[in-house]
Amino acid sequence: MFYVHLCIRYAFCNTFLLTISPYLISLTSLFTTLIISLILYVSSFTLHFVFSQRRELSADRFASSFVGKECAKETLSILQEQKLVPEKSYSLFETHPSIKKRIENIS
C-alpha cells in the first residue's frame, strides 16, 4: 500500500513539475531579457551624453583654431558672466560640458 501511495505521489509531482516548468523557463527568460534590456538602455543613455560632451569639446577646439585661443576663452567667459549659458553642478546628464571645463579644454 505504501508503494502505491508513493507511486501516485511521484506521478503527481512529476506531472505538476512538467506542467509548470515551461512557465518557469519563460518567466526566467523574460526576467533575464528585461534586466539585460534595462542595462543596455541605461548604458546607451549615459553614453549618449558622454559622446555629446566630447563632440562639444572638439567643436570648441576647432572653433578656437579659427578665432584664436584667447578670443575663444574671452567669448566663453562673457557667456558665463552674463549667465547666457546655465551652469549645472553635475554635468553627466548634460549635452554640453560646463563653461569651466570648456575653457580648460581650450587652454
What is the tally of structural domains in the chain? Answer: 1
- 3-state percent helix, strand, coil for the chain, nearest multiple of 5: 80, 0, 20
What's this model's pTM, rounded to 2 decimal places?
Answer: 0.63
Domain limits for position 78: 2-106
| Alpha-carbon distance values, 35 to 53, 75, 84 (Å) | 28, 46, 41
Buried b (16+ CB within 10 A) or exposed e, 27-61: eeeeeeeeeeeeeeeeeeeeeeeeeebeebbeebe
pLDDT, one tens digit per residue, over 49-90 is: 889 989 999 999 999 999 999 999 999 899 888 888 777 766
pLDDT, one tens digit per residue, over 39-57 is: 999 899 889 988 998 999 9
